[in-house]
């Protein structure tokens, strides 16, 4: 029997997929977790009834979260991932031999366990890579306690700004990121849909501009997310988003599904309505 899984927005839109099978359904201490097989998008993860990823297009999301930061940061030795319990971001980060250690701080151990079991291609070899250290903890508290300049790359791979991930968009959290980032470091975060969550997207850029010298939003398509258009933000204390290290990009191009030299530069071109809003900000 098939079941429809819907992400409902503002009580006026629903983005649904027909599932052929429910592999996992539970309510953890933090959220509702569902993993389902869908006809078109393959296996997919929902948290609190919001689509988090699908096998069909998770690489579009994870490659764009990880690689712009990792191809531009001069020495990306120490990487911190907040969230990312499915393992997809860690998998992309660990493609870079310059990375010596990755700390992944995920609040919900049940997400990690369910994804390891039902979505093994997400983490792939990352879970067994000796460079990866997993800690189940509150990401905001972890960062608030992190020593200054302790990470070269920080990647925020949280959910939408409701429930446990809401704090990841706050001014306080973003300023903890700024202080935990090394002077030559890069922060990248998922920043919602530039159309359906335009206010969150613009507010997050404005908050980051208070603390970081370079703030560059970038864009891509993740079809399983409502509306398809998605965004991330690159922020640093001076490292530039538009000067990727050629050798690193070239090395990645055989392994990635979406990311390459051209998509790196194209991603950093905002639509005109965002350009206008940013000029006025």
φ/ψ of 201, rounded to 5, equals -60, -50
**48 catalytic per annotation:** no
* Under 8 Å between Cβ of 169 and 140: no
Considering the candidates 86, 108, 157, 160, report the single residue annotated as catalytic.
Answer: 157
Cβ within 8 Å of residue 69, ≥6 positions away: 76, 153, 155, 186, 187, 188, 234
Q: How far is the CB of 52 from ligand SPD (least distance, A)?
A: 4
Q: Where does this chain touch ligand SPD (CB under 6 A) — which range of 9-17, 67-75, 83-91, 204-212? A: 83-91
Q: Where does this chain touch ligand SPD (CB under 6 A) — which range of 25-33, 155-163, 179-187, 273-281? A: 155-163
Q: Under the criterion CB under 6 A, does residue 57 sit at the interface with ligand SPD?
A: no
Residue with tokens 């968009």: 169
What Cα–Cα distance (Å) separates residue 26 from each residue in 43, 47, 68, 173? 16, 10, 34, 28
Q: Under the criterion CB under 6 A, does residue 52 sit at the interface with ligand SPD?
A: yes
Q: Identify the CA nearest to 234 among candidates 188, 174, 277, 199.
A: 188
Q: Under the criterion CB under 6 A, does residue 86 sit at the interface with ligand SPD?
A: yes
Residues in the chain: 281
Q: Where does this chain touch ligand SPD (CB under 6 A) — which range of 84-92, 123-131, 137-145, 205-213? A: 84-92
Q: Under the criterion CB under 6 A, does residue 106 sit at the interface with ligand SPD?
A: no
Out of 41, 225, 232, 234, point to the residue binding ligand SPD (CB under 6 A): 225
Closest-CB residue for ligand SPD?
A: 52
Closest to ligand SPD by CB, 68 or 84: 84
Q: Under the criterion CB under 6 A, does residue 92 sit at the interface with ligand SPD?
A: no
Where do runs of H (alpha helix) occur along the chain? 58-72, 88-93, 109-118, 120-123, 139-144, 171-180, 198-209, 246-252, 261-267, 272-280
Applying CB under 6 A, the site for ligand SPD has a residue count of 12
Out of 84, 123, 139, 164, point to the residue binding ligand SPD (CB under 6 A): 84
What Cα–Cα distance (Å) separates residue 20 from each residue in 1, 52, 105? 7, 18, 32
Q: Under the criterion CB under 6 A, does residue 76 sit at the interface with ligand SPD?
A: no
φ/ψ of 62, rounded to 5, equals -70, -35
Q: How far is the CB of 85 from ligand SPD (least distance, A)?
A: 8
Q: Where does this chain touch ligand SPD (CB under 6 A) — which range of 153-161, 209-217, 247-255, 269-277? A: 153-161
Closest to ligand SPD by CB, 53 or 174: 53
How crowded is residue 271: how many other Cβ atoms within 10 Å of its Cβ?
A: 13
What Cα–Cα distance (Å) separates residue 79 from each residue in 71, 118, 131, 177, 188? 13, 26, 10, 12, 11
Residues 159-188 that bind ligand SPD (CB under 6 A): 159-160
Catalytic residues: 157
Interface with ligand SPD (CB under 6 A): 50, 52-53, 84, 86, 88-89, 157, 159-160, 190, 225
């Amino acid at each position: 029997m098939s079941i429809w899984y819907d992400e409902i927005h503002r009580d006026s839109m629903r983005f649904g997929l027909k599932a052929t099978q429910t592999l996992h359904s539970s309510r953890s201490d933090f959220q509702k977790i569902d993993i389902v097989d869908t006809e078109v998008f393959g296996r997919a993860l929902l948290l609190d009834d919001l689509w988090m990823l699908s096998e069909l297009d998770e690489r579009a999301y994870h490659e764009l979260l990880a690689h712009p930061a990792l191809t531009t940061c001069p020495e990306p030795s120490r990487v911190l991932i907040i969230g990312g319990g499915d393992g997809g971001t860690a998998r992309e980060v660990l493609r870079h031999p310059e990375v010596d250690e990755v700390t992944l701080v995920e609040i919900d151990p049940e997400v990690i366990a369910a994804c390891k079991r039902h979505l093994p291609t997400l983490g792939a070899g990352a879970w067994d890579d000796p460079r990866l250290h997993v800690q189940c903890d509150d990401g905001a508290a972890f960062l608030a306690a992190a020593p200054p300049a302790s990470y070269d790359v920080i990647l925020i791979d949280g959910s939408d700004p409701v429930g446990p991930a809401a704090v990841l968009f706050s001014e306080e959290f973003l300023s903890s990121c700024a202080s935990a980032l090394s002077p030559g470091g890069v922060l990248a975060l998922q920043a919602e849909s530039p159309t359906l969550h335009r206010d969150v997207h613009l507010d997050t850029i404005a908050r980051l501009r208070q603390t970081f010298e370079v703030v560059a939003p970038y864009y891509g398509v993740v079809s399983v997310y409502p509306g398809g258009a998605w965004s991330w933000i690159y922020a640093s204390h001076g490292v530039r988003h538009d000067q990727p290290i050629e050798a690193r990009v070239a090395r990645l191009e055989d392994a990635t599904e979406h990311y390459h030299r051209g998509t790196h530069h194209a991603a950093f071109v905002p639509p005109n309505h965002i350009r206008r809003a940013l000029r006025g900000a």
